[in-house]
Amino acid sequence: MPLALYALTVGAFGIGVTEFVIMGLLLEVGADLGVGVPAAGLLISGYALGVVGGAPLITALTARWPRKTVLLALMAVFTAGNLACALAPDYATLMAARVLTAFAHGTFFGVGSVVATGLVPADRKASAIAVMFTGLTLANILGVPFGTWLGQAHGWRATFWAVGAIGLLAFAVLALLVPRDRAPAAETRLRDDLAVLARPQVLLGLAITVLGYGGVFAVFTYIAPILTGISGFADRAVSPILLVFGAGLVAGNLIGGRLADRGLLATVMGSLAALAAVLALMTFAMRSPAGAILFTGLLGAAAFATVPPLQMWVLAKAEGAGQSLASSFNIAAFNLGNALGAWLGGVAIDQGLSLGALPAIAALLPIAAFVTTLAAWRLETGRARASARVPAGCS
């Protein structure tokens, strides 16, 4: 893999840390800014909404720029946003800075996926996406625990100063290693880009992403109370078990990328089926400590095994004009899936269902994604057969 890919990995690492590290610092942020934990928790929701809204907007606004220029501009916005978080005097300013930072997220991964696939041969494209997303998985294993410790030991602002420093490092390596490119000449009008999103295969790919990842977060959002209330672990055991989840993310991401290079459709369907199976079996496995540890790791592996093939699916179906925009929309779809899953899990709990029932409910979403993938395949093969038919009397 070319070194430029690892420059993208550094950027992905920094973005992953800033997205998730706030989860471990809610008490410190709330105490310092004089807000309750629920209000502090909205900093997570605000970031997610910033990703969903910012990804298509920023990608459309920068569609005529050289992609290297876009990546550097995004990393500058990311760095400035984290520095603004570190300096925020009040809750409203911190929320605004979080949303500003989130604007860089979706477009970075969307445009970065296009850049990554352009750096390697055709049979390594999904693996290249997986290498870039390794930064996001490593952020969960290394960056978030360290950032949480740093914020608890030296104040939450220190964490954002550190993430800002990562942003400066990522800007430098991107400037040094990513090759120069020209502004996309074929993409001349915004409506041409948007027309790509109307393609049935692209729309179905976005729906598959939302449904598949919704199943992950319907459980993962509530993994701590599941581990303590159902599996019987003490509170202090949750963090080490989440490291197992993080290790599963790394493994699943790399395996999903490698398999997608060999067969994209088979990997999309296989990874969704595996995710549904893991979630269904978690219903029983989480009742024993050993089963809980094992299936927490398997959930991470199954979750991120879907990421490279789903991202590659949208890129493949949007080939040509608007590829960057479609790719960024798919990143937004992942975050929309996160919100959908967390909401669905909350509704189930509010309706009186136990925490132990969440995995079985969550399994319905990747099953729906699998059915959607099957429908997309049948639609595509049906059109291919129709186009291959030669009208009677023609030679």
Q: Tens of pLDDT along 199-252?
A: 788 888 888 888 988 888 888 878 778 888 888 888 778 778 878 888 888 888
Tell me the pLDDT band of 73, cut-offs 50, 70 and 90: very high
Q: Tell whether the model's pLDDT for residue 79 goes beyond 90.
A: yes
Structure tokens at 260: 């997608």
* Burial bucket for residue 310 (CB in 10 Å: 0-12, 13-18, 19+): buried
The percent of residues above 70 in pLDDT, for the chain, comes to 91
Q: Tell whether the model's pLDDT for residue 187 goes beyond 50.
A: no
Q: Which of the residue ranges 20-24, 210-214, 266-270 would you say has the lowest mean pLDDT?
A: 20-24
How far, CA to CA in Å, does 325 sit from each of 28, 58, 130, 329, 353?
37, 9, 19, 6, 39
Please give the CATH superfamily to which domain 190-385 belongs: MFS general substrate transporter like domains (1.20.1250.20)
pLDDT of residue 322: 67
Q: Got the DSSP string for 309-362?
A: HHHHHHHHHT-STTHHHHHHHHHHHHHHHHHHHHHHHHHHHHTT--GGGHHHHH
Q: Tell whether the model's pLDDT for residue 391 goes beyond 60.
A: no
Region for residue 393 given its phi and psi (left: phi exceeds 0; alpha: psi -120 to 50; beta: otherwise): left
pLDDT of residue 384: 61
pLDDT of residue 183: 64
d(CA 390, CA 392): 6
What pTM does this model have? 0.76
Measured distance between the N- and C-terminal CA atoms of the chain, rounded to whole angstroms:
47
Q: Tell whether the model's pLDDT for residue 97 goes beyond 90.
A: yes
CATH architecture, range 1-178: Up-down Bundle (1.20)
Instruction: Please name the amino acid found at residue 379.
Output: L
pLDDT digits (tens, 9 = 90+) for 355-377: 888 899 999 999 999 999 888 88
343 Cβ contact list (under 8 Å, min separation 6): none
290 Cβ contact list (under 8 Å, min separation 6): none
Q: Read off φ and ψ for residue 319, nearest 5 degrees.
A: -55, 130
pLDDT of residue 378: 83
Give 157 or 245, the one with higher predicted confidence: 157
Q: Which of the residue ranges 35-44, 53-62, 264-273, 302-311 would you say has the lowest mean pLDDT?
A: 35-44
- Domain boundaries of the chain, sorted by first residue: 1-178, 190-385
Domains 1-178 and 190-385 share a fold: yes
